[in-house]
Amino acid sequence: MCLAIPAKVISVSGSSAVVSIEDVEYTASLLLVDDVNPGDFIMLHAGFAIEKVDPEDAAETLRLLNEMGQDTPN
């Protein structure tokens, strides 16, 4: 199973971006997605932005992922 996580784009430099997922920053390749700008939200999978997403959809996905993580036993 593959999982993509919503991430907020902090900065763009050429074909890569610095993105943030809950205050943790990562580098993402933008080779698969066009017209990405700071402030956009992307789906991040294995270091690649695979699509742009609506900010509300990104927030809801992160909320659901966090909720699922709270249900797992330690």
Strands, E, within the chain: which ranges? 5-13, 16-21, 24-29, 41-45, 48-53
Cβ–Cβ under 8 Å, residues 38 and 9: yes
Give the confidence band of 74 by pLDDT, cuts at 50, 70, 90.
low
Q: How many domains does the chain have?
A: 1
The pTM is what?
Answer: 0.86
Residue 36's CATH number: 2.30.30.140
> Which range marks the domain in which residue 32 is found?
5-70
- Residue 16 bridge partners (DSSP): 13, 29
Separation of alpha carbons 14 and 70, rounded Å: 37
Q: Is the pLDDT of residue 44 over 70?
A: yes
**Higher model confidence: residue 74 or residue 12?**
12
Q: Is the pLDDT of residue 48 over 80?
A: yes
Residue linked to tokens 């700071």: 38
